[in-house]
Amino acid sequence: MKPAPFEYAAPRELDEALDLLAEHGDDARVLAGGQSLVRMMNARQVSPSVVVDINRLRGLDSLGVTSDNGSSTLRLGATVRQRTSELSGEVARHAPLLAEAGAHVAHAPVRARGTVVGSVAFADPSAELPAALLALDGLVKVRSRAAERTVAADDFFTGPFRTSLAPDEMVVGIEVPVAAGRSGSAFVELTRRHGDLPVCGAAAVLGLGDDGRVAQARVALCGADQRPVRVTAVESAVVGADDPSAFTEAAARAGDGLEPIPSCHGSADFRRHLARVLTARALRTAFARATSPKETTDAR
């Protein structure tokens, strides 16, 4: 299949891109890495009349850490490739979960074109990076011609392939707070084949207090609901734990209230089961990494 005819624009200034989105609204689509959009256009699942290529926009390819009043933030612009993030020393140091989750996306050639922000904006409920952003308490930076706003990842994903973006808005970047103190994170998933979208995946971030107990926990799932979701019942159940044996019991709550989208790769019940198993695994690995930073995998 070939796409329906469309106009192609490759502006160099953000304002030009925003003008095009304001002018064409729902008829326009942003083109980032093209790894999902081009396939959908070829299959005529979407037929925008205008494609706004953001790859030539100045300043959106930056990746770095900024500090303000003692807290640091990792920032990734809208055209930072998934592979760049995965291989970045700054991401590995300051948000290793993003690198670990990103390495599970597709295959290296897809990640070399696909952008981190494109995956977030696409909001596939099975995708790894939106769940990682949720677990990291990330922020989504949004611009339109009229305004700019910052949306917590918790509020950004609204349904399958749906976000709180308006048609005249684009995402210009994401931000992740850099963890201070003792912390550990992990991303685990089950796929049918290497490089496929996961049937289900779990991301966990744990912060430990001075007494070695879990002081903060954020756990997010992909492939387990209509959108990437946090499992707050599990988060509250693990706070105070000082031993990984507590995690299996806490993770038993991970399937509660979930409404997975069933497919030939996994029924809703199977995905709820995976949510429990993978959450326990992610928590154990995150805890092991927080207590002993050299720990990298969960052997159990």
Q: Which residues bind ligand FAD (CB under 6 A)?
A: 29-37, 54, 78, 105-106, 110, 114-115, 117-119, 121-122, 124, 127-129, 165, 170-171, 196-197
Pick the closest to residue 186 from 50, 283, 48, 61 (CA basis).
Answer: 283
Closer Cβ to ligand FAD, 37 or 74, answer by number: 37
Closer Cβ to ligand FAD, 34 or 177, answer by number: 34
Q: How far is the CB of 204 from ligand FAD (least distance, A)?
A: 18
Q: How far is the CB of 202 from ligand FAD (least distance, A)?
A: 15
CB 140 within 8 A of CB 155: no
CA distances from 110 to 7, 82, 116, 131 (A): 25, 9, 12, 19
Rounded to an integer, what is the distance from CA 69 to the centroid of its chain? 27
Spatial separation of the C-alpha atoms in residues 185 and 2, rounded to whole Å:
42
Closer Cβ to ligand FAD, 122 or 247, answer by number: 122
Q: Which tokens go with 180?
A: 């201070």
Spatial separation of the C-alpha atoms in residues 23 and 92, rounded to whole Å:
40
Q: How far is the CB of 45 from ligand FAD (least distance, A)?
A: 10
Closer Cβ to ligand FAD, 124 or 298, answer by number: 124
Q: What single-letter amino acid sits at 218? A: R
Q: How far is the CB of 292 from ligand FAD (least distance, A)?
A: 30
Closer Cβ to ligand FAD, 62 or 71, answer by number: 62
Spatial separation of the C-alpha atoms in residues 232 and 222, rounded to whole Å:
14
Q: How far is the CB of 246 from ligand FAD (least distance, A)?
A: 31
Closer Cβ to ligand FAD, 87 or 239, answer by number: 87
Q: How far is the CB of 69 from ligand FAD (least distance, A)?
A: 28
- Backbone φ and ψ of 183, nearest 5°: -150, 160
Q: Is 192 helix (H, G, I), strand (E, B) or coil?
A: coil
First vs last C-alpha separation in the chain = 46
Specify the DSSP element, H or E, that contains 171: strand 170-177
Rounded to an integer, what is the distance from CA 252 to the centroid of its chain? 24
Angle at 104 between CA 96 and CA 122, to 5 degrees: 95
Q: How far is the CB of 87 from ligand FAD (least distance, A)?
A: 16
Closer Cβ to ligand FAD, 184 or 198, answer by number: 198
Closer Cβ to ligand FAD, 31 or 241, answer by number: 31
CB 295 within 8 A of CB 285: yes
Q: How far is the CB of 34 from ligand FAD (least distance, A)?
A: 4
Spatial separation of the C-alpha atoms in residues 37 and 26, rounded to whole Å:
14
